[in-house]
Amino acid sequence: MKPVQSVERAFAILETLATEPAGLSETARRIGLAKSTVARLMATLETVGAVERVGDLYRIGPAIEGFAPAVSGTVGLIALAGPHLERLAAATDEATGLSIAQGDRMHTIVQVDVDRSVQARDWTGETAAMHTVPSGMVMMARWPAERLARFLDRPLERSTANTLVDAEQIQARLIDIRDLGYAWGKEEFVGGINSVAAPVVDHAGRMMAAIHVHGPAFRFPQPGHDDEIGTLVRDEADRLGRASRSGS
């Protein structure tokens, strides 16, 4: 079967950007293509999140970065996160989970349940739009301004009546999330379920994943305990980040 030329060229772009971010002219020089050809391919790759632009440079985008842990690091990350999720589940008496980014969505890769008469469903394997879940909100809080602007400059899906879809309201919440280090979502993804999440950060300051706790809204969180639980989740996520950096 004859190779598809545009696919080969797109892979060449991704390979060179994986080595080092570059502008259009430099990328074209590296792979030996006309700048106009690279510009057309780059625009398509940017649309699907395979690359992202920061100033005049392009780099590997969130869609590709999301595949990396899913393919090579997910198993190790799950194993490393297990004790942290279990400790958090014991402390809160609610289900805990770990999510990673896949493009503009969050993908739950593991969940630890608790033995209670009313339990939240198992979300392992499910995905959700970034703005609908707190694990996505803590990811968005670390996005470059240009990427956030592109995300917000489009119609956002509404999962429940409580889902934030207004760009200004989302930006205001992200400011609070950056200050607190955690995010709450109250019946914003699914009615009757509240959740709280915090980022797991690698040695380069990039977010690897998010730890989250979720439970039925009638009991989680108990009144006046939002900050206490949010701090617990943030501290456990920080411990997982440090453990991943030390390799233990």
Residue 68, pLDDT score = 53
How do 95-102 and 57-60 pair as beta strands?
unpaired
Q: How many domains does the chain have?
A: 2
Is residue 202 predicted with pLDDT exceeding 90?
Answer: no
CA proximity to 119, closest of 103, 144, 96: 96
Is residue 117 predicted with pLDDT exceeding 80?
Answer: no
Structure tokens at 26: 């430099």
- Residue 8's SS3 state is helix
| 36 shares its domain with 102 | no
Instruction: Using the 3D structure, point to which of 60, 77, 97 is the last residue of a domain.
Output: 60
| Helices 35-47 and 24-31, axial angle in degrees (round to 10) | 110
Lowest mean pLDDT segment, chosen from 11-25, 59-73, 149-163, 218-232: 59-73
| 66 or 89, which is more confident | 89
| 236 shares its domain with 119 | yes
| 231 shares its domain with 123 | yes
| 141 or 82, which is more confident | 141
Question: If you average pLDDT over residues 219-238, what whole number do you get?
Answer: 96
CA 38 to chain centre: 28
| 189 or 76, which is more confident | 189
Is residue 171 predicted with pLDDT exceeding 60?
Answer: yes
Position 45 confidence tier, pLDDT thresholds 50, 70, 90: confident
| 72 shares its domain with 176 | yes
Residue 50, pLDDT score = 80
Question: If you average pLDDT over residues 207-234, what whole number do you get?
Answer: 95
Position 72 confidence tier, pLDDT thresholds 50, 70, 90: very low
| 164 shares its domain with 105 | yes
121-149 pLDDT tens trace: 778 888 999 999 999 999 999 998 999 99
CA proximity to 189, closest of 136, 228, 226, 238: 136
Quote the domain boundaries for residue 48. Answer: 5-60
- Mean pLDDT score of the chain: 87
| 48 shares its domain with 140 | no
| 120 or 98, which is more confident | 98
* pTM across the whole model: 0.70
**Percent of the chain at pLDDT exceeding 70:** 90
Is residue 67 predicted with pLDDT exceeding 60?
Answer: no
The CA–CA distances, whole Å, from 158 to 129, 190, 215 equal: 9, 10, 20
Is residue 64 predicted with pLDDT exceeding 50?
Answer: yes
CA proximity to 9, closest of 64, 21, 32: 32
Question: If you average pLDDT over residues 179-197, what whole number do you get?
Answer: 97
Residue 76, pLDDT score = 67
Alpha-carbon Rg for the chain in angstroms: 19
Is residue 31 predicted with pLDDT exceeding 70?
Answer: yes
A 10 A CB-CB count for 36 gives 10
| 85 shares its domain with 48 | no
| 127 shares its domain with 219 | yes
Question: If you average pLDDT over residues 4-8, what whole number do you get?
Answer: 63
Residue 207, pLDDT score = 84
| 53 shares its domain with 76 | no
| 137 shares its domain with 54 | no
| 130 shares its domain with 17 | no
Residue 3, pLDDT score = 43
